[in-house]
Every structure is written in structure tokens, then in C-alpha cells.
């Protein structure tokens, strides 16, 4: 169980670098509100640990905040379309607080290959179109993800370009990290007023690289032993 918990924690950190919580790229900057997602997996060991997990994306003007709550770990990403390559990523795992140190030398400019299909389905009250997004993982292998998006919300991309070029807002998609597939599916889209202090970055987080955070998490969880 501890080994699975460690894998999920490390997967969550990896997810923070590929999330789509970067700036809006459409001309529709009038949307203000919150998109809430459920989080699920077909990994039997991870199912109970992800029960009750959620992802919430807050949007107002040029600013975005995404909060991923997976129980043991919480990840918050602040983004501003005025500084698209400089998101603030906060990670909290088992009471330990980290701020991911941005590395300007690791920017990814390659766009994924997107194949649009005629398949549609209803998600959170929106008609969503299916797209097959193919990108390269760290090992250079091609990874294809099915994404259901709506063109009735601002289009989004990500710090690492996971959905760069997608013609809309993804309301359902999956991510693969360390052999675990996690599905994010929107359950509600609430258009409402968001206060400015929602986007204030809190203090008290230790600035570390992704590698340093993972090493610290492994140490605190006993190296992932059984």
C-alpha cells in the first residue's frame, strides 16, 4: 500500500507539470467561474486512495488557479496569460509544502499532433467533441490521449504543451504517470464571480526542483517500501 501511495504522490507531481492550467488562448476572456472535475482510475490499488478526489479550475480575466485535491496530496497551480511560461506550482504532501522551482532551460515548444473526430458526448451540460492528442513522453515514446473538449469555453494549453493547439476547453481527459492512468471528468461548470484574492499565492512553501521534491517525498515515505 505504501508503495502505491508513493507512486500516486510522484504521479501527482508529474501531473502538475503537464496540467492544462495555463493561460486562455481564445478571444473569449469573458468567462468567469469554476470548473470542477471528478478524479478516477482503473488501477485497483489506487482506487480507494483517489476516492473523493477532485480538481477545480478557477478562471477570471487573464488569471487561472487549479486546485487538485487527492487527499494525501494537494497541488495548486497559479497561471497568468501575461507570463505563460512562469506558472507558480505549489505541492503539499503529508503536511510538507513545496513550491516547484521553474527551470527556463526546460521549456517545451513542440506541439502535440491532434486528430479531431466526429464523436461527441455530453459532459457537465456541454456538447463535447472528441480529439486524439499524441505527444512524446520523457523516453521519446508516442502517447495518445483521448480528450473531450467544448468550444463554448476558452481554449487552454499547458506549461509543457500537452493540449497546445486544442480548439477548445478539455472537459474530460486522462494522464499517465508511473504506470497509473488517472481520468479527469468535469462534473460542473459554474459561471460565477471570483474574488481577486483567489489568485493570491500563499507563502510558507520551500522552493525546490521536481527531482528534489520527489527525493524528499520518497525519504518521508520510507523509500516506498512495503
Quote the Cα angle for 217-218-222, to 5°.
Answer: 115
Domain count, the chain: 1
pLDDT greater than 80 at residue 26: no
Determine how many CB atoms are found less than 10 A away from the CB of residue 179.
8
Which three cell numbers, joined as nine digits, stand for 182?
Answer: 488517472
**Is the Cβ–Cβ distance between 96 and 168 less than 8 Å?**
no
Q: What is the mean pLDDT of the chain?
A: 80
Express the helix, strand and coil content of the chain in percent, nearest 5 each.
20, 45, 35
Q: Domain containing 59: what range?
A: 2-224
Provide the whole-model pTM: 0.83
Q: What is the CATH number of the domain that holds 187?
A: 2.50.20
pLDDT greater than 90 at residue 149: yes
209-225 burial, b if ≥16 CB within 10 A, otherwise e? ebeebbeebeeebeeee
Amino acid at each position: 500500500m505504501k508503495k502505491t501511495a508513493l507512486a500516486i504522490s510522484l504521479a501527482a507531481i508529474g501531473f502538475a507539470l503537464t496540467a492544462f492550467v495555463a493561460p486562455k488562448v481564445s478571444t473569449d476572456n469573458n468567462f468567469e467561474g469554476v470548473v470542477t472535475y471528478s478524479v478516477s482510475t482503473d488501477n485497483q490499488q489506487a482506487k480507494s486512495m483517489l476516492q473523493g478526489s477532485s480538481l477545480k479550475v478557477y478562471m477570471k480575466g487573464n488569471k487561472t488557479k487549479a486546485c487538485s485535491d487527492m487527499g494525501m496530496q494537494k497541488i495548486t497551480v497559479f497561471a497568468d496569460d501575461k507570463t505563460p511560461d512562469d506558472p507558480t506550482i505549489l505541492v503539499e504532501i503529508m503536511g510538507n509544502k513545496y513550491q516547484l522551482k521553474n527551470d527556463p532551460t526546460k521549456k517545451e515548444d513542440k506541439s502535440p499532433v491532434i486528430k479531431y473526430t466526429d464523436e461527441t458526448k455530453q459532459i457537465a451540460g456541454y456538447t463535447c467533441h472528441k480529439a486524439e492528442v499524441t505527444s512524446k513522453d520523457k523516453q521519446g515514446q508516442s502517447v495518445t490521449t483521448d480528450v473531450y473538449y467544448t468550444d463554448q469555453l476558452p481554449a487552454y494549453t499547458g506549461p509543457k504543451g500537452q493540449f497546445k493547439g486544442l480548439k477548445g476547453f478539455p472537459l474530460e481527459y486522462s494522464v499517465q504517470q508511473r504506470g497509473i492512468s488517472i481520468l479527469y471528468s468535469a462534473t460542473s461548470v459554474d459561471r460565477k464571480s471570483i474574488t481577486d484574492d483567489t489568485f493570491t499565492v500563499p507563502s510558507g512553501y520551500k522552493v525546490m526542483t521536481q527531482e528534489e521534491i520527489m527525493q524528499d517525498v520518497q525519504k518521508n515515505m520510507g523509500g516506498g517500501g512495503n
